[in-house]
Every structure is written in C-alpha cells, then in structure tokens.
Structure 1
Amino acid sequence: MGHHFELHKHIELAATPEQVWEAIATGPGVDSWFMGRTEIEPREGGRTRLTLAGHVEEATVAAWEPGKRFADRTETAPDGTFMATEYLIEGRDQGSTVLRLVQSGVLGDNWESEYEAMRTGWDMYLGTLAAYLAHFPGRTAVPVSAFRPGAGDPEPVWAAVTAALGLTGPVTEGQPVTLAVDGLPPVDGVVDSAGLPTWLGVRTADGLYRFLHSGADRGNTLVVGHHLFAVDGGPGRTEQAWQNWLTALPVG
C-alpha cells in the first residue's frame, strides 16, 4: 500500500525573484544546482524531463506563473505512486527572495527510506542553489555525475574522500581543498557545505562540487554530482574522468 507524504522546505536567497525563477523553471538553471539533466517546456501543461544515470522521469507542468509559482507532477504509476513538486517565490526587500518548496505524493513500500533521502537531499540541493545564485549569477553549469554502488559504509568512504581532498580532522566550511583528477585541471577551492555523513560540498572559482553517500538502505552508493561552469574537453570526457576517479578511490 502506498504512503501519502508532504514535505516542506524554505530558504532565503540572495537573488531577485527573476533570478530565482530562471534557476528553478528553466533546464539550464536547474542543471546548475540540481541532480542530473533537466528539460522544461515553459508553459502550463508542458512537460518536464529529468535524466539521471540512464533513468528518465517525466512530469507535467501543473503551474506556470513566472516569478511567482512553478509546479509539476508525475503521472500516477500502476501501484499508485506519484510525485508533485511546487515552488513558491516571494520577493523581499533589498533584492532577496524567499523560496518555499512543497513536495508531496505517494511513496512505495520503502517509503521511510525514500522520505528521509528526500528530506536530507533537499537540504543539500537548496544549499547548492543558494551557492549558485550567490557566486555564479548569470552563468549556467554543465552537470557532471558519476556513481559507485556498494562503495561501503559511510565512515571508511568519507575517510577516503576527505583524504583525497587533502582534508584532515573534522570537516568544516571554509577549509581549503586541493584535488587531482587524472586528465582534468586541478581542483582548488574551499569546503562550502559540510553535511557529513551524507554529503560534502566544495566551491571553486568555476564550479560547485558535490560528493554524496546514499546510506546502507540505498546501496551504500558514493555519488559525485558536480556543476561546472568551465569544462575543458567536453562534458563526456569530464564525466568519464570523474567516473574513473570514483572507481579507483581506495575505500576499503
């Protein structure tokens, strides 16, 4: 039997309502902070498409009010599950904006794990949205993803990731990071988001780098989900280089 749910989040962003709209209601904007690759047909009744790891999720635009409200909803599956997402934009003084998110629908048998993943995941993604609007306004990113299922429990995995990033001791925002990935320019930046044991974020002059661990209930998968504003050699080559790095990471 499906489980109905409703999840609420909100965040204040250092951006105008128009900038926030571009970030949440256009494909290139969403690609600059959210997972996978997104396409959006800009009208009520239009279609949205999210592609990630070979899986495609489509939805219908349920609300299209530029600068104010955007919503979409997937079709109801044979088992009764569906997902609906709504963004509400509220302008504030001095050019800031409050973004409210409501995600609702029906989850399947493993609903508790799914709900917790969404609840925690939105904290990371909305934080990434804030970083995008604050540090890369007017630019759009190429999303780069790679996956390592069965990487292991969080503690040894994060020990390997933080060692590769040159981090020691407790991870805190502002720590300097240096990382070498074969075939790519060096990554030099700072920790800008520390949500261990679930995620770790790094910001550079040309990118937002995100490392995620799914947890045991979701296969102990280690994921990189980066947003790069300057890509040398094309996205395919960059994505393969990160997949090679992830596969070779000594996690055991």
Structure 2
Amino acid sequence: MGHSFESRDEVEVAATPEQVWDAIATGPGIDSWFMGRNEVEPGQGGTVRTFFGGYTPSFAVTAWEPGRRLAYGSPEAPDGRFVAFEFLIEGRAGGSTALRLATSGFIPGDDWADEFEAMTKGNALFFHTLATYLSHFAGRTATPVTAFGPPVADWTSAWTALRRAVGLGDDPAVGDTARFTVDGEHIEGHVYSVNSQTLGIVAPGGMYRFLQGFHGPMVAGHHLFSTVDTTTAERAWQAWLIDTLSGRDSR
C-alpha cells in the first residue's frame, strides 16, 4: 500500500539570503539546526550526508543555485521509499529573507501511518529550529550534541517527566519559560516548538530539543553556541535523560 506525501513550510526571518544559504548548504550550517553531523559536497550532482547514530543517509543534490534554490533527495529504494527536499530563498526589503521548504516522498507498507506521524512532527521541529536559528544565531556555528535516553515503555509518563524536569506544565505552549540544570549548568529559555512528540527550547547559549524516537528511546538533539567538549556534554545529557525518565530528580 504505502503513502505518498508532500508538505510545504514558509517563514520570513531577519537574516540575509547569504546567511540562509550558509545554513542550508554547508555542513557547519546544517549542523547548527538539523541533527547529528553533516557534510555537503557542493554543486549540482553533489551530495548531502547526515551522520546521526547509526542513521547515515546520503542525498543527491538535484538543484544548486546559491542564494536562491537548493534541492536534494534520496535514491528510490526497491520498495519505492524516497524523500526529497527543495529550499527556495527570496530576499526581502530591510534585510529579511523568505524561506520556503517543500518536502515530498513515499513511505511503503501498510503500517505507514505511525512512521508518517513521527516524520511529520519531527519535520515540524526541524523547520522551527531552522527558523529559530536564523532569527537568533544567524552567521554563528553550533556544536551538535546528541544523547539517547533509556528505552521508553510509556510515552505519556515519559513526556510528563520531561516537562516537569524542564519546569513546564502539562500543556506547554510556544513562549512558555523553561528552566533546568544539567551537570551544574543552569539554563533558562523559552519554548519555540512543541507537539505531542517533540519539544524545542531556545536559550541564550543554544537550542535544546527532545524527540520521541520512532520505535526507540527519547532523544536529546541540541545545538550549543559555545566551546564544548562533545563527549563530555553527551555523557552529561545521557545521564540527565536517565535520571529524568527513571523518576529521579535531575534538577
């Protein structure tokens, strides 16, 4: 059976077209808002690669117009699975930029619905993170920090514990204040993206994101705009997730 999909997102940000291009078309730029580590081989016919745990997709660049248009996608698998992305950039008066993203693809199988829901909610977080990066940190490069929590049997309880640990109520909304402490560092920021499977918080030093892993653990996928030892930070965040989701007070 399977399911074909297409979605469109648009945002206007206080960043130049050049800054937007750097964010979507360079490895360090993508590192600053997407997930894991990223590499870009520039030019049409080039490649965009992501390294996120054991997930290492490779996308062929099909359009490369610096400052205007970027498109890339995965090869079609034997079962028909693929995903493709197209970014359109348009400069506006006053130094702002309109950014449009079209995402399309195909998910195979009769059980596509759960995967599609997880992908849709995850993609919403990624796009909001890109917009937040361009609005707050344009021109800067972040260090991505990724940590995986323990297996989750009850996601309702896990999200309740997570919200409590970051100082949020049961029904958080964009703009709500979040406060939490990790490895002795107190962090205060506000929610910039939230849905039933993701949470994004922006603070002066970075963007902190939590995702419901598809058939897996809760994932912390952060972007820190400071000098940080990745190994130490990821261990601290893994310990924080374990404490939080086990019911121990991680604050």
Same fold (TM over 0.5): yes
**Match for 1:3: what amino acid?**
H
Is 1:96 aligned to residue 96 of structure 2? yes
**For structure 1, which runs of at least 5 residues remain unmatched after alignment?**
none
Aligned to 2:210: 211
Partner of 1:56, secondary structure, is: coil
1:212 Cα offset (Å): 1.8
Is 1:26 aligned to residue 26 of structure 2? yes
**Match for 1:219: what amino acid?**
H
Contact map agreement 1:154 1:220 (CA 8 A) in 2: no
1:208 Cα offset (Å): 0.4
- Following the alignment from structure 1 to structure 2, what is the Cα–Cα distance between the partners of residues 21 and 241? 33
**For structure 2, which runs of at least 5 residues remain unmatched after alignment?**
none
**Match for 1:201: what amino acid?**
G
Partner of 2:182, secondary structure, is: coil
Is 1:71 aligned to residue 71 of structure 2? yes
Match of residue 237, structure 2, among 238, 242, 246: 242
**Match for 1:222: what amino acid?**
M
Is 1:163 aligned to residue 164 of structure 2? yes
Contact map agreement 1:13 1:97 (CA 8 A) in 2: yes
Aligned-residue identity in percent: 46
Please show how residues 82-231 of structure 1 align to structure 2 within 5 Å: 82-109=82-109, 110-148=111-149, 150-168=151-169, 170-182=171-183, 185-214=184-213, 218-219=214-215, 221-231=217-227
1:251 Cα offset (Å): 4.5
Partner of 1:180, secondary structure, is: strand
Over the aligned positions, Cα root-mean-square deviation in angstroms equals 2.1
Query: Which deviates more from structure 2 when the two are superposed, residues 152-161 or residues 222-231?
Result: 152-161
How many aligned positions are there?
Answer: 246
Partner of 2:127, secondary structure, is: helix
Find runs of 4+ consecutive structure 1 residues off by over 4 angstroms.
Answer: none
Note closer, same or farther for the CA distance 1:195–1:168 as it changes in structure 2 (3 Å cut). Answer: closer
TM-score computed with the length of structure 1 as normaliser: 0.88
1:149 Cα offset (Å): 5.7
- Following the alignment from structure 2 to structure 1, what is the Cα–Cα distance between the partners of residues 203 and 166? 13
